[in-house]
Copies of this chain bind each other. A is one copy, B any other.
Amino acid sequence: MESILIIEDEADIRQLLVFNLQREGFATLEAGDGLQGLEMARAKKPHMVLLDVMLPGMDGFTVCRELERDPQTAPIPIIMLTARGEEIDRIVGLELGADDYVVKPFSVREVLLRIRAILRRQAMVKTTPSLSRHDISIDPAAHKVRVRDAEIDLTATEFRLLEDLLRHAGTVRTREQLLNAVWGYQFEGYARTVDTHVRRLRAKLGTSADTIETVRGVGYRAKA
């Protein structure tokens, strides 16, 4: 679960954020001043920091700079909370290495949107590498598949299925596992739906169809 550290001296605002973030499924950490926040960030390595600019003791800019300086905490994205909407604050904040800022008074929705945007952006960076097994190579970013240099057309589901099998090449994947990975956890349906998709996939793979092996009584496996 994603943990978020809130560094904010006003208890009301902290409460508000904590309540809403938890409701949205985030774990929260709280700090009432800059120094405490800095220490907590170092100790707990949260996935994100919401940082108020106006803080007693060490101000938000300083905290931000410190977080950026420590290689341990530098990768943690920071969203600045600023009371004044002046351009100057924005520039300074982003120059410091903050990833985004929200101007107070903010709507909780806005904060959530930005948190999600940043997390998504991060998730994207760890882009899945392309895979090659035998004559099949897939490029998840482009969503393209080539069999022996010929590009083939797969539907979205077929693509995810093939990707999962290749990613676990050499390992048997049960229908259950495939349903979870390809269809998602909430999928409740006919287990043999998998069979149908494997069939369609094999048909499109043509001569390389045998890359996907049937393991009788267990599931399917891509040749290692």
Are A186 and B155 in contact, CB atoms less than 8 angstroms apart? no
The answer, yes or no, to whether A1 is at the interface (CB within 8 Å) is no
Contacting B at CB under 8 A, from A115-160, are: 116-117, 120-121, 124, 141-143, 155-157
Number of interface residues of A (CB under 8 A): 36
Question: Does B91 contact A117, Cβ atoms closer than 8 Å?
Answer: yes
Select one of B92, B109, B224 contacting A142, CB under 8 A. B224
Instruction: Report copies per complex.
Output: 2
Interfacial residues of chain A within 142-197, with CB under 8 A of chain B in the complex: 142-143, 155-157, 170-172, 176-177, 180, 185-186, 188
Does A66 interact with chain B (Cβ within 8 Å)? no
A141-B172, A172-B143 known; A92+B113 contact, CB < 8 A: yes
B110 contacts A141, C-beta separation under 8 Å: no
Question: A215 at the A/B interface (Cβ < 8 Å)?
Answer: yes
A118 nearest in chain B by CB position: B185
Q: How far is the CA of A177 from the CA of B117 in the complex (A)?
A: 9
